[in-house]
């Protein structure tokens, strides 16, 4: 059975995690290079079961491997900065495959082999918003829609389907422009960046790999 109530709690709780974030805007930086394991800046949040995250090394490359079976848990990195000052979000990722029963348009299909969150917290919990950069199951690449459980989370298909699975892909997004495009307003401060591989609604299994995530200025 699809876990509709738990999925709703998963999304809303995850969006609210960054409310206590504090600190000054960072300069251009890599959140964690994983060279010495998972850095202390990450915190885990489990919603249904537990996705297993482990640092792996291959030559000079270090990355985070996520394995999930009918589970939903994520890692988030609290960091406060202005999206307009540091608009670029860069990362690399790879997935084994997408989810056969995954469907971005339905609550029952709201699972993803890989996604990267940017959370924009609000003093009013219900106004907290997030940009979700997903490796989509069925949503075509470059399309976006509100999350099936809450319009405060936009699901943006950076990659889609199985054509490029098994390959390391480099991504870059301008979170300032994306927020203005999809929420039609100026963004508040970023409060957290997170990753999540989740399969609790579909009950499937997924494996994904995440390279280091960085934030930076727009050189133009």
pLDDT higher than threshold 60 for residue 83: yes
Q: What is the mean pLDDT of residues 74-100?
A: 96
pLDDT higher than threshold 70 for residue 145: yes
pLDDT, residue 7, reads: 45
User: CA geometry: angle at 95 spanning 58 and 199, to 5°?
Assistant: 125
**pLDDT class for 1, splitting at 50, 70, 90?**
very low
Q: What is the mean pLDDT of residues 142-146?
A: 96
Longest dimension (CA), the chain: 49
Cα–Cα distances (Å) from 109 to 35, 81, 155, 182, in that order, read 35, 33, 13, 22
Domain ranges (residues) in the chain: 4-216
pLDDT, residue 19, reads: 47
Strands 214-216 and 72-81: unpaired
- The mean-pLDDT minimum among 23-32, 46-55, 65-74, 191-200 falls in 23-32
pLDDT, residue 219, reads: 80
pLDDT higher than threshold 80 for residue 46: yes
Task: Tell the CATH superfamily of the 4-216 domain.
Answer: Galactose-binding domain-like (2.60.120.260)
Tens of pLDDT, residues 184-203: 999 999 999 999 999 999 99
Strands 72-81 and 190-198: antiparallel
The set of residues, in sequence order, having a beta carbon less than 8 Å from that of 40 and lying 6+ positions away, is none
Give the integer Cα–Cα distance in Å for 70 and 98. Answer: 14
Residue/partner pairs of 96-100 with CB below 8 Å, 24 or more apart:
96/165, 96/166, 96/206, 96/207, 96/208, 97/162, 97/165, 97/206, 98/135, 98/136, 98/137, 98/160, 98/161, 98/162, 98/165, 99/137, 99/199, 99/202, 99/204, 99/206, 100/137, 100/202, 100/204
Tens of pLDDT, residues 16-29: 554 444 445 556 79
Share of the chain above pLDDT 90, in %: 78
pTM for this one?
0.90
**pLDDT class for 80, splitting at 50, 70, 90?**
very high
Q: Mean pLDDT of all residues in the chain?
A: 89
Give the integer Cα–Cα distance in Å for 135 and 141. Answer: 9
């Amino acid at each position: 059975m699809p876990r509709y109530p738990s999925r709703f709690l998963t999304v809303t709780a995850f969006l609210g995690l960054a409310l206590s974030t504090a600190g000054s805007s960072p300069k251009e930086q890599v959140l964690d290079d994983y060279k010495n394991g998972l850095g202390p800046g990450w915190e885990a949040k489990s919603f249904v079961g537990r996705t297993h995250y482990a640092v792996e090394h291959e030559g000079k490359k270090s990355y985070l491997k996520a394995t999930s079976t009918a589970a939903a848990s994520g890692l988030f990195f609290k960091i406060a900065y202005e999206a307009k000052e540091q608009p670029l979000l860069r990362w690399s990722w790879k997935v084994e495959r997408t989810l056969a029963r995954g469907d971005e348009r339905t609550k029952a299909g709201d699972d993803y082999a890989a996604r990267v969150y940017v959370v924009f917290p609000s003093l009013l919990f219900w106004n907290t918003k997030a940009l979700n950069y997903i490796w989509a199951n069925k949503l075509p690449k470059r399309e976006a829609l509100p999350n099936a459980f809450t319009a405060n989370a936009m699901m943006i298909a950076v990659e889609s389907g199985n054509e490029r699975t098994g390959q390391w892909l480099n991504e870059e997004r301008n979170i300032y422009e994306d927020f203005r495009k999809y929420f039609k307003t100026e963004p508040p401060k970023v409060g957290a960046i997170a990753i999540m591989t989740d399969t609790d609604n579909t009950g499937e299994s997924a494996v994904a790999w995440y390279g280091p995530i960085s934030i930076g200025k727009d050189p133009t």
